[in-house]
Chains A and B, each alone.
Chain A
Amino acid sequence: MTDVPSEGQLERSSLPRDARRARLRGRILARAAVFASQVGLLAGLLWLWESATANDRQTAFLFGSPSAIFGFLVQMWRDGSLFRDTYVTGVETLLGFLLGNVIGTSIGLSLWYSQSVARVVQPFIIALGSIPIIALAPIMIIWFGTGLMSKVAMATLSVVVVALVTSYKGALSVDPDKISLFRTLGATKRQIFQRLVIPSALTDIFAGLRLTVGFALIGAIIGEFMSSSEGLGHAIFKAGSLYNIPKVFAALVATIALALFLTWLVGQLERLLTPWRNAP
């Protein structure tokens, strides 16, 4: 076939190279300015904190100080506990996050299949969602012991209802006109589910994933608070009961770093799985 442009052939337009380069440079500069301000803000806050606690031993004891926190971080790095505790909590969080989201999302999406089942189970889901997770910790420890499994169970529990509700909401928000379109094309309910409902719900599912990273971490740390011999929650709890406040903060810094890393991981996964949303 020859490519004779038909009437109404549409051409891609492109900006001149210089203009595009200038725009790119502008964008990089703007991003650098934001980053510089963020670093400046952090440095300013740390300086305030340091100078407020420098000359007063009592405030230094109560609030710690950036230099003391840094000292503990270095010490925890040297004795290997920083890596080990972060690793333990990271594994618990990640396993609970995955398990909770797989279970919650599967149930949430499959509730789309049957409105009547969804109506029947709705109050149960709301009841389950309203339980403060910490109240379940003793039971989890009795059922799963004081090791890894009870923390994974806690993380899973704090994730599962949120994942269920967001994915179900995503499945319900499918454009009814698109469902009609699929019907006129002769699609079965299963084809509509696979080709329309699941991809439509991805936006909501990923919103849920970003939210539940934090929830999984809360679950894991509560589990460690209750009973454990390792992990960041254990480190925080132990340092706290010894009134070692700078060490509490040092473990907290590691926790924040872990949370940021896991959130970044979810963002990468989202970019990978929803390529149409990064289209230029």
Chain B
Amino acid sequence: MPPLSVRNVSKSYEVGDEMMHVIGDLSLSLGQAEIVSIVGPSGCGKSTLLNVVSGIIPPGSGEIRWYGEPLSGVPARAGYMLQKDLLLPWRTAIQNVLLGLEIQGVQADAARDRAEIMLDRLGLYGFAASYPSTLSGGMRQRVALARTLVTDPEVMLLDEPFAALDFQSKLLIENDTATLVRAEKRSVLLITHDVEEAVSMSDRVIVLSQRPTRILRVYEIDIPGDRTDMMEARQSPHFTQYVRSIWNDLQSTARPVIKGLQ
């Protein structure tokens, strides 16, 4: 039973008197311990898709199943992470990591141990008592990642989580994410506009079309070697081919920026 399956989902919004079709007709599934990336031109409804899948907004039509069960409300075994770190400024780093465990009613000592271990694994040893306002963007996003991972989600829904980071911070946190996710056999649905990130992190890349969004192409990523090292992935000759091909797909679906030139 795949952790997540999406069948013929569509979604429209009413904008003024007109209906805007955001998601056309979309089907995909996310397997156990699989990392799947979704790339698409900007404004194609990637984030809407993630919000529909995670039960935050209802789909217009179609069916979403989590472990075979129809989606009702917010799925329990999913973790969620956005480009904004959404750290609570009144909580220290470790208190932010503890948030999910507190909500789930995990016993305080056990929760604290788990949070400390997770912060250590993400290289934040010694920053447990720091307030978010004193941390850099990369460190804040690491705290957010620790907060997501510490609740032990089987599926992680990531919406451009590393988009705001500089290249170096981004690669390091991608490595750590891939390491922790693959070691624990978690499934990941990663929404991104960064084609290189999609190819280097994923087992599968789904390319979406312009609105109303459909699946344009699906790539099974076959890169040999250590899949938790984003630099090593970039050295594979396949890597460049995937990136170029996905880039061409995106170009073919992109709307012309200046209409008069067409």
Contacts and interface: CB of A to CB of B under 8 A. Distances in A.
Interface of A: 1, 3, 5-10, 12, 175, 177-178, 180-187, 191, 195-196, 199, 202, 274, 276-277, 279-280
B76 interface: yes
A185 B151 contact: yes
A181 B74 CA distance: 10
A280 B123 CA distance: 22
B131 A279 contact: yes
B88 A199 contact: yes
B139 interface: yes
Nearest to A181: B86
Nearest to B51: A180
A271 B124 CA distance: 27
30 contacts: A3-B120, A3-B125, A5-B125, A6-B120, A6-B123, A7-B172, A7-B175, A7-B176, A8-B172, A9-B123, A12-B126, A177-B86, A178-B88, A180-B80, A181-B82, A181-B86, A182-B103, A184-B54, A184-B78, A184-B80, A185-B80, A185-B99, A186-B74, A186-B103, A195-B88, A195-B103, A196-B88, A274-B90, A276-B92, A279-B133
Interface in B104-154: 104, 117, 120-127, 130-131, 133-134, 136, 138-139, 151
Q: Which of A8, A175, A195 has the largest count of B CB atoms less than 10 A from its CB?
A: A8
B56 interface: yes
A199 B90 contact: yes
Given A186-B103, A191-B103, A276 B121 contact: no
Contacts of B133: 276, 279
A207 to B, nearest CB: 16
A186 B74 CA distance: 8
Contacts of A202: 90
B100 interface: yes
B176 A8 contact: yes
Nearest to B83: A177
Contact of B76 (A1, A175, A177, A186): A186
Given A186-B76, A276-B89, 16 more contacts: A6-B121, A8-B175, A9-B125, A10-B139, A180-B56, A180-B80, A185-B80, A186-B74, A186-B100, A191-B103, A195-B102, A274-B90, A276-B91, A276-B92, A279-B130, A279-B131
Interface of B: 51, 54, 56, 74, 76, 78-80, 82, 84, 86, 88-92, 99-100, 102-104, 117, 120-127, 130-131, 133-134, 136, 138-139, 151, 172-173, 175-176
Contacts of A279: 130-131, 133-134
Contact of B134 (A175, A186, A195, A280): A280
A12 B151 CA distance: 28
Given A184-B79, A196-B88, A8 B123 contact: yes
B86 A175 contact: yes
Contacts of A276: 89-92, 131, 133
Contacts of A196: 88
Contacts of B121: 6
A6 B151 CA distance: 22
B119 to A, nearest CB: 11
Contacts of B90: 199, 202, 274, 276
Given A6-B123, A9-B123, A12-B126, A177 B84 contact: yes
A7 B74 contact: no
The 3 closest A-B pairs by CB, nearest first: A184-B80, A8-B172, A279-B131
A202 B89 CA distance: 12
A196 B87 CA distance: 11
B124 A185 contact: no
A31 to B, nearest CB: 23
Contacts of B134: 279-280
A178 B147 CA distance: 13
B105 to A, nearest CB: 10
Contacts of B173: 8
Contacts of A274: 90
Contacts of A175: 86
Contacts of B175: 7-8
A7 B123 contact: yes
Contacts of A280: 134
Contacts of A6: 120-123
A280 B117 CA distance: 26
Contacts of A3: 120, 125
Contacts of B79: 184
Nearest to B126: A12
A178 B90 CA distance: 13
Contact of B99 (A12, A177, A180, A195): A195
Nearest to A280: B134
Nearest to A1: B120
A202 B125 CA distance: 30
Contacts of B89: 276-277
